[in-house]
Amino acid sequence: MSCTRTDPAPVEIVEVVDRPPERLSELGDGRAAVWYARPDLWNENWRRTVMCLLSHDELLRSDRFRYTEDRDSWQAAHSLVRLALGHYTGVNPRDLKFATGPHGKPEIAPPGSDLRFSLSHTRGFVGCAISKRALLGFDVEDVMRTLDRGIAAQCLTEAETEFVRPDFSDDWRSRFFEIWTLKEAYIKALGLGLSIPLSGFEFVRLGADGWSLRSLSNAQAGSTSWRFFSWCIAGRYRCALALGIDGILTAV
């Protein structure tokens, strides 16, 4: 099972292979950049270089992982965040300090910056999205990983389940992860953690033009204008980005 790739035009996608990227576009309003890497493809010299960006506390946190693959993925993701934020802020990546928001969302520590970021990782792939001022959420999943149909159905609304059609289509896994990553990206962008129920909103396919968010409750209100992007990398890593602009969302 695989997924096809379509690049979202307002989003610059940057692959980090063995050196910091160059000649990138400016982060204007309503735009975002997504940096990603497949750490298994990094050479040893580059791996050592980026791992040296991590703080002592980050290294201690990563050592708590039971499996080596999960530890390496976590380290690579947080190294990538430092590298990307260092590029856009002009600050040495090792000197960046982070804080945690009231619902656990990481942010640049005070005095801070107008940059927002969101990171996600799965085995074999790490990524982070960055924008200015906009609400931002990014998620990635491996469409080849093990997935239980029963559990998957519990995460979707009736309309989303109809789109996935787990009982009738051989391609249901790819469509499930397309929906799931969009929902995860939206929740991350809100920064309210698990206080937002998955049943309180759903995504509706708009043909080839993308996705629309439909609220099924009064869980969210405000003047935020949302844009959603979904694409695939290397035939198996489904990515989603939620970008909220033109207002401030308020939880009610």
Give SS3 for 79.
helix
Q: In terms of domains, do 105 and 154 share one?
A: no
DSSP tag of 209: G
pLDDT band for 168, please (50, 70, 90 cuts): low
Which has more pLDDT, 182 or 104? Answer: 182
125 with 17, same domain: the answer is yes
SS (H, E, C) 79-142: HHHHHHHHHHHCCCHHHCCEEECCCCCEEECCCCCCEEEEEEEECCEEEEEEEECCEEEEEEEE
Whether 1 is in a domain gets the answer no
Mean pLDDT of 203-221: 75
Question: How does DSSP classify residue 19?
Answer: S
DSSP alpha helices (H): ranges in 28-67?
44-51, 56-62
Query: Is the pLDDT reported for residue 222 higher than 70?
Result: no
Cis status of the peptide bond prior to 111, with omega within 30 of 0: yes
Cβ neighbours, 10 Å, residue 148: 8
122 and 167 inside one domain: no
Inside any domain, residue 157: yes
In this prediction, residues 170-194 reach a mean pLDDT of: 87
- Is 201 strand, coil or helix? strand
Q: How many domains does the structure of the chain reveal? A: 2
Report which of 76, 82, 73 is spatially closest to residue 106, judged by C-alpha positions. Answer: 82
> Does residue 5 carry a pLDDT above 50?
no
The token pair at 115 is 């940059």
The pLDDT assigned to 133 comes to: 80
Last residue of a domain, one of 139, 159, 183: 139
Q: What is the pLDDT of residue 248?
A: 42
Among residues 79, 110, 139, which one ends one of the domains? 139
Residues 72 and 183 in one domain: no
pLDDT tens readout for residues 19-48: 888 878 888 777 899 999 999 999 999 999
Whether 117 and 16 share a structural domain: yes
For residue 226, the domain's CATH number is 3.90.470.20
* Same domain assignment for residues 54 and 135: yes
The answer to whether residues 134 and 144 belong to one domain is: no
pTM of the predicted model as reported, rounded to 2 decimal places: 0.88
**What average pLDDT does this structure show over 60-89?**
92
Residue 92 has pLDDT above 60, yes or no: yes
Q: Compute the average pLDDT of residues 97-110.
A: 84
Q: Give the whole-angstrom CA distance, residue 199 versus residue 97.
A: 35
Pairwise CA distance, residues 114 & 122, whole Å: 27
Q: Which whole number is the average pLDDT over 219-232?
A: 78
Query: Mean pLDDT, the chain, as a whole number?
Result: 85
pLDDT digit string (tens) for 185-207?
999 998 877 677 888 899 988 87
Q: Residue 28's pLDDT is what?
A: 77
Domain boundary residue among 139, 166, 185?
139
- Between helix 68-89 and helix 44-51 the angle, nearest 10°, is 70
Q: What percent of the chain has pLDDT over 70?
A: 88
pLDDT at residue 84 tops 60: yes
Give the residue numbers spanning the domain of 163: 140-251
